[in-house]
Copies of this chain bind each other. A is one copy, B any other.
């Protein structure tokens, strides 16, 4: 298939590009280096320096003889995206092109405005570029489980049948996210649903949980192909922060009570999920929503796991609760459905002790590059 990947330089974009190219697809990627720029501006550089996107594609090509076409451009500019879609005529677009940091989106006006404008414009422009140049193209959009927040009822996959005063209807599952970044994805979903039902677009919206994993099959060939690994407070997840803290001999910083439960998945499973979505496109006029994670656990359970495995590897891992910089429930009900991707054929890689050990061993290789100043939260939700 002809595949266009928006945000092809990202933690997910680049591994997706390599994986799909390896499977024989024609892959075209576009990225404006927004994450790289923000990382520099906020002193949040990744642990392992990665070559730029053109260089990565060249390295990949020299190893595999497979071509990934690269464009450096801003999809928030309609002329850029429209030209690219007209030229590539994709059968699938995978839309990763959003500013993904919740803390960055909560820093102040400038960062909030940049997140808001970038994320909404990227989605708005993609809708219109497809309507103009590729109306049958299947859009695979990355949403987030964070759109739902932590409601007191079961989270279904995107939609909810509601019975009210003896009458029934089906609605988008009500959303209430915990950061501006997550809220931009709520707005994306509302916007997509309007255009999908009005003009018959085909969209799969993947509500993804936090992804972990430092490598994929393709990146195993050459460390210059590794995904970006962020452990900082801006782009780093709790998983990455704990791995780095364990290796650096810094106590694992649990935000507040640590009862925050989320649905996690392995980077290799993200690649599977996106491919499964591509293979069975949404119908015209269908907004198919799938919850994309393989298991749920709390921050405390995650910290326990990193501590246990770290100590087995001879590290001396401590855990410490710190004041929560975010505004979120620290002890809550959480029961999200996630059968859709399993039914499509997803074979999960769970976060076993073995997987945690392999991640720790990979971080240990780069121990000297850890900058402890990057780890502690610098952005607070409460003003």
**Interface positions of A (Cβ within 8 A of B):** 78, 109, 112-113, 116, 120, 124, 128, 131-132, 151-154, 160, 162-165, 167-169, 171-172, 174-177, 180, 183, 186-187, 190-191, 193-194, 197-199, 327, 333, 381, 383
A176 and B172 contacting across the interface, CB-CB below 8 Å: yes
Q: Give Cα distance in the complex from A112 to B177, angstroms.
A: 26
Query: Cβ of A164: which chain B residues have Cβ within 8 Å of it?
Result: 153-154, 160, 162
Closest residue of chain B to A124 (Cβ to Cβ) is B116
Of all chain B residues, the one with the shortest Cβ separation from A173 is: B174
How many copies, total? 2
When distances are taken between beta carbons in the complex, the residues of chain B under 8 Å from A151 are 169, 171
CA distance A78 to B108 in the complex (A): 13
A193 touches B176 (CB 8 A): yes
Nearest residue, chain B, Cβ from A116: B124
A169 contact set on B, CB distance < 8 A:
151-153
Further pairs besides A180-B194, A187-B191: 5, Cβ < 8 Å: A116-B120, A176-B194, A186-B190, A186-B194, A190-B190
4 smallest CB-CB distances across A and B, nearest first, come from: A171-B174, A152-B169, A153-B164, A183-B194
Determine which residue in A160, A162, A165, A168 has the highest number of CB atoms from chain B within 10 A of its CB, and name it. Answer: A162
Which single residue of chain B is at the shortest CB-CB distance from A129? B109
Residues on B with C-beta less than 8 A from A120 are 116, 120
Q: What is the chain B residue whose CB lies nearest that of A108?
A: B128
Contact, CB under 8 Å: A113 / B78: yes
Contacts of A162 in B (CB 8 A): 153, 160, 162, 164, 174
Q: Could you tell me the distance in whole angstroms from the C-beta of A353 to the nearest C-beta in chain B?
A: 33
> Which chain B positions have C-beta within 8 A of A132?
109
> Does B177 lie within 8 Å of A194, measured CB to CB?
yes
Q: Could you tell me if A154 and B165 are in contact, using CB atoms closer than 8 angstroms?
A: yes
CB within 8 Å for A198 and B327 given contacts A109-B128, A167-B333, A190-B183: yes
User: Are B171 and A190 closer than 8 Å at their CB atoms?
Assistant: no
* Residue on B nearest A194 in the bound complex, by CB: B183
Given contacts A169-B152, A190-B187, are A199 and B383 in contact (CB under 8 A)?
yes
With contacts A154-B164, A176-B172 taken as known, whether A131 is within 8 angstroms of B333 at the C-beta atoms is: no
Instruction: Give the complex CA separation of A164 and B174 in angstroms.
Output: 12
A78 to B117, CA, bound (A): 13
In the complex, A156→B313 CA distance in Å?
57
Separation of A154 and B164 alpha carbons in the complex (Å): 7
Q: For A327, what are the chain B residues with a Cβ–Cβ distance below 8 Å? A: 198
Tell me the minimal C-beta distance from A165 to chain B in angstroms: 5
Residues of B within 8 A of A109 (CB): 78, 128, 132
Asked whether, in the complex, the Cβ of B124 is within 8 Å of the Cβ of A153, the reply is no
**A289, chain B: closest CB distance, angstroms:** 14
- Contact indicator B175/A190 (Cβ below 8 Å): yes
